[in-house]
Structure 1
Amino acid sequence: MKIYKVLGLMSGTSLDGLDLTYCHIWKTPTGWDFDIKNTDSIPYSDTLKEKLKNAIYLPADTLLEFHNTYGTWLGKQSKEFIKTHELEAHFIGSHGHTTHHQPQKGFTFQIGSGQHLANESGIKVICDFRSNDVALGGQGAPLVPLGDRLFFGQYDYCLNLGGISNISFERNGERLAYDIGLANMILNHITQKINLNYDKDGALARKGSINKPMLEQLNNLEFYKLPFPKSIGFEWFVAQVVPIVEANDDNIENLLHTSIHHICDQIAKQVELQKNKTENTLFVTGGGALNGFLMETLQEKVGSNTKVVKPTNLLVEFKEALIFALMAVLREENSINCLRSVTGAKRDCSGGVIYLPA
């Protein structure tokens, strides 16, 4: 049995920091399995966080320069992590950080140059997992659903609450998935008004009450009416959501409380739409799963016939990095890792570009 020893890297739209997950991944008679060995999460400095947040506004030459320097930075973090834990890694699977995502225009861009990462770390790198799918007419997102199928297929629905919420599930032998809408992106935007990175356990949100006009505005966003496959990025958030938040002059507690009700309203609506049996399980990971008030509100809105399942904090926090390690393994084997049923592409494909250290 061949065991792949892989370091997965993930940086999400919530800008919490860089997640590193070193895992062993192997094929079983019925599918795939994994063992997470070591993890770390490196918070972004205020300077780097602001630069990543505003990268969408950079001119092309400055953006490409940042693409390279950020790739070198990823390589340094990887090298230090591997050295500290005395690990052997066959390769690194890196998601990079999404700065531009406009599949309707035929492009998506995750910064973090694979060649710079490989050169700095001294290890083979597999990255840029989304571009092939977009070139085939797909959304290039979400990509995690294949990992949901292979690693967590015992649950009826897999929900990820990162900066954006997305869901995946099986229907008639196909994996379906799409971005539902907002999650931590709006919550963190609001807490940053009072210089907080996030609302721990939803403590501030719990104290608030619903701002009805704001809730109505959020629930009426055009994106929610679109059919899937569909995905959103930071551009959509800036253009469509930020103006709503800024136009509602209310206290932080009420803004957070309202946003959580909105997030859970939209998730519950999609679960209800997709249900095909009475009793269901909803497996929840991503930073939003650590928000106690959000999880309580979600359980309340989906109802008692859908059980909200939160796994260990290790999986909650590092599932995405784990799955990008899996994406790299599948690319190494030249196996399918992007599903047309999820992204709307012309065909399934094996996404990812391989870089060898110079």
Structure 2
Amino acid sequence: MKKMHLLGLMSGTSLDGLDMALCTFENQGGQWTYEVLQTGFREYSDQTRKQLQEAIRYPVSELLSLHREYGAWLGKESAEFLRGAPVKPDAIATHGHTIHHRPDLGFTFQLGCPQQVALGSGLTAIGDFRSLDVALGGQGAPLVPVGDRLLFDQYRFCLNLGGIANVSFEAAGERRAFDIGIANMLLNHLCAPLGLDFDRNGALARSGKPNLPLLRALDSLPYYRKPYPKSTGYEWFREAILPLLDRYPDTPENQLHTAVHHIARKIGEQLKGLGGGSRGGVLVTGGGAFNTYLLEVLQGQLGEGLALVVPETTLVAFKEALVFAFLGALRLAGQNNVLASVTGARRDSCSGVVYLP
């Protein structure tokens, strides 16, 4: 198979901005390889961040208007990013920004019209990667595990510390994955009253003390007792976690300290419960991989038998954009890019809708 060049666009639940990764993929003898050629990040303006955060409450007309507007912005930013790029991509694989994710009700919606991405960039765009899986009875998430399986199989676990913490792993010859629970969405929310986007290196959390009633309440949330496959998002954070912060008020430092220990405890419980195995360690990516205090507490939860592995900065920051580019490559190759063993759907699928400029 010839080399394919894809631009991956990723906007996650942490609401920090748009990640872009221009990548090359090649399949030789059934083995996929990749190269990241160029990466970029576009921070959201305060207005855009507020719109994305509040869009879940928008009426239909406003939501669809923002869908068009945000898609046009994605297309414009893609075109600017690709000026002077080393290659012209075969397509843009766009995740969009998840606003409504309700697989229990049979739907999911990612903001950012892919047709506008195609028109704004002048390139083929592939979007709406989740809906087919949801229609097949799956969670529509997580989608990154197919990349973990085909590109990062040397690790026992692939752990993403984004707005939500999720993990993927091999079990009985199948890829398994699920959303463990809250991560940066909570930490960044607690930083907002201090005028900060995030807690650099976890310094504020390190300086705080535990709020034990809050910790017990967080640890007792029913979501953590649900079996996988399972996925969650902002709705759960808003409905289940935010009320606990109001019920157990404290200083931002103490709440951050408590949140870090909650996050590390829940991740540690899950990974140890899945078995450490003897092959590889835990590949850690996403913004939380830069939070040194969180990693220290998490490693303490895991013990010496399961080592955290933080790769080079580009992979930490842009792994999800890289994998969405890979999902686009698999879509163009006509290969399955969503795994039923991960999502709980009736079958694997080759997902993503193709839009021409």
Q: TM-score, normalised by structure 1?
A: 0.98
Amino acid at match of 2:105: K
The residue that corresponds to 2:267 in the other structure is 267
- Displacement of 1:88 in angstroms is 1.0
* Residue 231 of structure 1: aligned partner: 231
SS of residue paired to 1:306: coil
**Gapped regions of structure 1 (runs ≥ 5):** none
| CA spacing shift, 1:36–1:297, aligned 2, 3 Å | same
Offset at residue 194 of structure 1 (A): 1.4
Amino acid in structure 2 at the alignment position of 1:236: W
Instruction: Give 1:248 deviation, angstroms.
Output: 2.0
CA offset digits 1:51-96 (Å, max 9, x no partner): 0011100001110110011000000000000014354111101000
Q: d(CA) in 2 for partners of 1:297 and 1:278?
A: 22
**In structure 2, what is the equivalent of residue 300 of structure 1?**
300
1:283 to 1:86, Cα distance in 2 relative to 1, 3 A: closer
User: Who is 2:355 aligned against?
Assistant: 355
In the other structure, the counterpart of 2:110 is: 110
| Pair 1:101 & 2:101 matched | yes
Structure 2: give runs of 5+ residues left out of the alignment. Answer: none
Aligned position for 2:337? 337
Residue 327 (1) aligns with residue 333 (2): no
For residues 26 and 247 of structure 1, the distance between their equivalents in structure 2, rounded to whole angstroms, comes to: 52
Aligned to 1:31: 31
Partner SS, residue 83 of structure 2 = helix
Between the aligned partners of 1:231 and 1:31, the Cα distance in structure 2 is: 29
Matched, 1:175 2:175: yes
| Root mean square deviation, CA, Å | 1.0
Match of 1:137 in 2: 137
Quote the Cα distance in structure 2 between the aligned partners of 1:50 and 1:285: 26
Matched position secondary structure for 1:54: helix
For these two proteins, the number of residue pairs brought into alignment is: 357
- Residue of structure 2 equivalent to 1:203: 203
Aligned to 1:48: 48
Which residue type is aligned with residue 149 of structure 2?
R
- Structure 1 SS opposite 2:108: strand
1:279·1:306 contact (CA, 8 Å) conserved in 2?
A: no
Aligned match of 1:283: 283
Contact map agreement 1:280 1:305 (CA 8 A) in 2:
no
Which range moves more in the overlay, 111-120 or 272-281?
272-281
Give the C-alpha shift of residue 334 in structure 1.
Answer: 1.4
Q: Equivalent pairs: percent with the same residue?
A: 50
Deviation at 1:157, TM superposition (A): 0.4
Is residue 145–residue 168 contact of structure 1 (8 Å, CA) maintained in 2? yes
Secondary structure of the equivalent of 1:236?
A: helix
Q: Deviations over 1:278-326 (max 9, x none)?
A: 6751110000001110111111111111011000110000000000000
What residue in structure 2 maps to residue 254 of structure 1?
A: 254
